[in-house]
Amino acid sequence: MDRYDGKVPGASWLVVKDGQILAMRATGMADLEASVAATTATNYRLASISKQFTAAAILLLVEDGKLRLDDRLRSWLPELPPATASISLHQVLTHSSGLLDYEELMNDQADAQVSDQDVLDILSQANRLYFEPGSGYRYSNSGYVLLGLVIERASGQRLPAYLKQHIFGPLGMHGTLLYEASHGPEVPHRAFGYSDSGNGWQRTDQSPTSATRGDGGIYSSVRDLALWNAALDNNRLLSASSRELASAEHSRIVGEDWDGSYGYGWRLTGDTQWHSGETIGFRNVIVRWPAQRLTVIILSNRNDPEPYATALAVGQRELDADRDAALP
């Protein structure tokens, strides 16, 4: 982690084995302009790591009987066009819906931030799909934005309030929130994103797609994510059947840089359950080895390097140490 050290955009990281925290540390800076150092309580924009929380909220609503996984997406969002009529919530969760990528439909010259309602409006005007629902795989930020709207309509609560009341609060994740600049509150202990321009680090914290919520709007810290990680191994939040659904191999991943399958907000590769989170100025990853009860999380407020390989290397060191300890 030396590359994150000093007066540069930093990182916070966590290693958990058998329910015990082996390392929880931070280095570098959360805010270069204000000279604020990163800590284990620093909150980073999780980007697509947020998707596992959106999926968990859907599963909680299923447990409460407020929706079903085979519900048609259009039954909750009737504004969507006829081409989407057969898409189920299950297919949206597993990126097998065929929904169009709203970013490909945006005005290239637009500089205002796109809201969830804007995404719904954009998709409602395009009566076509990439493929027949259930017949393929294509990673879809559009789908998880729409799932956030479904959560609001099924629960009767705004998405940030639902996540706080039903996930963050019960788990004690009191620093974690789904951030909305237009509604507040502000992010406590916030890390700001940066990119290396070749002439030093430049703040690149927001883009036109940084205001959407269900696909990537959560801010959290390694301190809070330790609590989330613990809840993935017991019934404190989700039932065993819901957790099994979240980590099941529903869709075979194609067209990406790694082999594996997709569950509900999780990628599944070999013996790992993981997800990265990338947005302008942030690169994050959570990797879990469930059978070995090992988790590595790295959060960073910079565009480079991508931390997935680092997390795998850290995890492999722990697995090798366990193997060596077991030798006679």
The structure's pTM equals 0.96
What rounded mean pLDDT belongs to the chain? 96
Residue 134 has pLDDT above 90, yes or no: yes
What are the tens digits of pLDDT across the range 34-49? 999 999 999 999 999 9
Higher pLDDT, 259 or 57: 57
Residue 110 has pLDDT above 80, yes or no: no
- Both tokens of 297, joined, read 């999380």
As given in the structure block, the two tokens for residue 119 are: 């995404």
| Best CA proximity match to 267, nearest among 280, 279, 252 | 252
Output the pLDDT for position 327. Answer: 77
- Per-residue confidence band for 58, with pLDDT thresholds at 50, 70 and 90: very high
Domain locations in the chain as residue ranges: 2-326
Place domain 2-326 in its CATH homologous superfamily. Answer: DD-peptidase/beta-lactamase superfamily (3.40.710.10)
How far apart, in Å, are the Cα atoms of 9 and each of 110, 134, 203, 264?
Answer: 28, 41, 10, 31
Q: Lowest-confidence range among 197-206, 263-272, 281-290, 318-327? A: 318-327
Cα 205 from Cα 230, distance rounded (Å): 30
Q: Tell whether the torsion through CA atoms of 137, 262, 314 and 297 is positive or negative.
A: positive
Asked whether 232 and 56 are in contact (CB, 8 A), the reply is no
As a whole number, mean pLDDT of residues 179-203 equals 93
Tell me the average pLDDT across 109-120.
86
Active site residue 48: yes
Q: What tens digit of pLDDT does each residue of 66-106 get? A: 999 999 999 999 999 999 999 999 999 999 999 999 999 98
E-state strands within the chain: 11-17, 20-27, 29-31, 36-37, 44-45, 177-178, 194-196, 201-203, 218-220, 251-252, 261-262, 267-269, 272-279, 282-289, 294-300
Please compute the mean of the pLDDT values over residues 2-31 and round it to a whole number: 97
Using 50, 70 and 90 to split pLDDT, how confident is the model at 109? low
Rounded Cα–Cα distance for residues 39 and 222 (Å):
9
Q: Spot the catalytic one: 12, 48, 142, 300.
A: 48
